[in-house]
Amino acid sequence: MNQPIPYGRQHITDEDIAAVADVLRGPFLTQGPHIGAFESAFAKYIGCHYAVAVANGTAALHLCCMALGVTEGTRVITTPITFSASANCVRYCGGEVFFADVDPATALLDIHAVRALLEQHPKGYFSGIIPVDFAGYPVDMAAFRELADEYDLWLLEDSCHSPGGSFTDSQGVAHRCGDGSLADLAIFSFHPVKHIAAGEGGMITSNDEALYKHLLRLRTHGITNKPAEFTEPYPGEPERGGWYMELQELGYNYRLTDMQAALGNSQLTRVDAMLARRQEIARRYDDAFAGTAVDIIVPPTDVVHAYHLYVIQIDDRKGLYDFLRTRNIMAQVHYIPVHLMPYYQQFGWKPGDFPNAERYYARCLSLPMFPTLTDDEQAYVIESVKEFVGA
């Protein structure tokens, strides 16, 4: 291949460009009508009651931690196999991050490891859990909800990889990732390589009206201009004109722009087709690597994998990574375990703490996975991997 094949790539259509251009010609660039339209459309797609558009997925995580009451000393459990933002959001609020190992069969946070960690401490020691739908494989949030209720914990689902994904619980009920039926809050990302590309951007979903209203205020500096939410007038403020507003708590400017919302809304109109194409690509990879030295994760039939990433595992990961680069195939590694990052090692985490996560990391490689990957490009990737492993 003459042109590099990346592990992920956005797909921008003429309709997307037209949607953004319409905003540029209009009166609003930042806070305009496309934001509310995007929130409503996204909530309908996911199947939740409320959606709050924000600047990016990391901002979504941070605001969720604030709304859930994370402060200095709050202890939260998450997975070491994730992008660091899933843990950093707790640290932004002064909380303490605890990791639990992953299930080697799925690379998802292992509920048994979480339970073991909870049982090592008195009830009330921990406040919440942040499971991650890693690579697009949905976490069994019903099982985590049961565990969280047992220990009086909140649940924040990191669904950045999984819009459109779902799992079926033990009662045979299907739950879409982030639909608000199990987690208190869930978050999504609109980074260019994600299912919906808005340049940057994120979304928080929930069925909790109180959390929803709190998040709306937090994303806008903690300010409200809604009369129903006002407290007492400022000292020396005899009347409340149309200019009146209240800074009720310390928030952030984590707002999405109208331009990004228009782009996201345009992308949302074809998200099902793009998801179907990702799943088609995954099936071709699955078939190609079955019976080879390449290990793959194939979900059960009652799980709808969203395939943000297609991850293989192989003993000579570095060798394959370098070999593919000579072929102009830009495979990537997701992720270096968060507990091994220098920042987190200062809190006492060290190699050997989570052997399943570290074993996964030593062998994982993400192959190209995006809707516009052509059949010829995928065939070239498959041929190259098979050549390396001698299949």
DSSP letter (8 states) at residue 304: B
Listed in sequence order, the DSSP H helices in 120-270 are 141-150, 209-218, 258-268
Core vs surface per residue 276-285: b (16+ CB within 10 A) or e: ebbeebbebb
The residues pairing with 158 across neighbouring beta strands, listed in sequence order, are 132, 187
Residue labelled with tokens 């090692």? 345
Q: Report the alpha-carbon distance of residue 133 to residue 155 in Å, rounded.
A: 13
Instruction: Verify whether residue 350 is a known catalytic residue.
Output: no
Q: Hey, what are 342's tokens? A: 């220098």
Closest CA to 282 of 361, 162, 383, 373: 373
Which candidate in 194, 226, 350, 386 is catalytic? 194
* Cα→Cα distances 157→47, 97, 184, 199, Å: 15, 16, 8, 22
* Residues with Cβ within 8 Å of residue 341, at least 6 apart in sequence: 84
- Which residue in 110, 107, 135 sits closest to 99, CA to CA? 110
At residue 344, φ and ψ (nearest 5 deg) are -80, -20
E strands within 228-387? Answer: 246-247, 295-296, 310-313, 329-330, 364-367
The secondary structure of 121-149, three-state, reads CCCCCCCEEECECHHHCCCCHHHHHHHHH
Q: Considering only CA atoms, which of 323, 315, 317, 307 is closest in space to residue 368?
A: 307
Half-sphere exposure at residue 366, Cβ-oriented, CA atoms within 13 angstroms: 22
Dist CA 339 CA 351 (whole Å) = 8
Active site residues: 194
